[in-house]
Each structure stands twice: as structure tokens, then as C-alpha cells.
Structure 1
């Protein structure tokens, strides 16, 4: 993903660690790491518009984890947290924590 340098994600939007809304050193104790974050622009000051969390096997994105991601990144419930799973499809966790299937991802 980093090498693709996609608009809104760039090279720094992949596996970034956060604490209290600030970016911190990768793996810093007590920090929360996003798999992918999408910004409304290329600068680090651009608003975050979505967070993607990749899951494998039987793992699921729980409501508690959605809250942890949003709190660490410093966004509110309007910013969707999107679960990406190779077998189960794509699920958006919206501000009310309802699940909406928006597509399917297959290998």
C-alpha cells in the first residue's frame, strides 16, 4: 500500500500509530495503530475521512475497538471505520455502530 502512494493515503497512511489524536512512534507503548487511514487531501493536516481495519480468519472488528481507533486518531463517530475481510466482505461501522455491507472483497 505504501508504494502505491494513493491519494488521501500516501506513504504515511498505512500502519500509523496514534495516541490522543497525535501520530506517535510506531509501536509506542499505549498507542493504537490503524491499518489504513484516508485523509481529505495529501497533507498530514487534512481531515481524516475514514479508517480501514484489515481482518483475517475469524477476527471481527468489535464496537469497542472501533471506539479505540476513533479516540486514538481523534475523530468522532461521523468518520466511518471500515472492516476489510477477504472472506466476509467489507463492513462499515458508522457513528451508531450499525453494520452496513457495502461490497465484497475476494482474493
Structure 2
């Protein structure tokens, strides 16, 4: 059942759950890490996404563990707190991680 049909059939006015499912190997994540690493500006179609992701990359740069993974997890957490359409997701966004190597999805603790 799609979100649209669920709204129509059940009379729901909002999504019950939104799954934020980024991949760590996207061009936007790579570009954001490179931008934070070198300070070089990003132009073109990735500039806006890099601006969105870069704060998470900066926040996690010196943390232990994988910088890419830490950046993606922190970015998803930030998305959960970002107002959408005038109101926050209010806990409806669930962070998850998709592995391009295995095709598996891992839901992160929130």
C-alpha cells in the first residue's frame, strides 16, 4: 500500500513512519567528505546536498570509527530533527543504512 493510498483508505493525514535510507557511497557523501577534508568549494548539482551533509561530516571528522558511516548516521539524525512542511518529523523518521555490497538494510537505534 502506498503512502497516498494509505492516506485515502485510512484517512491518515501524515505518514506513520518515514525510513531515511541513505547509502554511504553516494556522490553527495563523497563530495561532502572531500569538501570538509580539503576546503574546496563544490559547484553544480551536488552543491546543495554537500551543504546539507557537510555539518555532519565536520561533526564526525575526528570521531573513532569509519568517517563515512559516522557522517551518514549523524546526517540521518539531523534529518529527523529538521522541520518538513512546517513541522518536525516528530520521531516518525527511522534511521537505517543500506549496504550496497550485501543489499541488506540495518535499522539504527534511535
**Structure 2 length-normalised TM:** 0.31
TM-score with structure 1 setting the length? 0.32
> Whose strand fraction is larger, Structure 1's or Structure 2's?
1
Select the structure that is richer in helix: 2
Q: Which has the larger radius of gyration?
A: 2
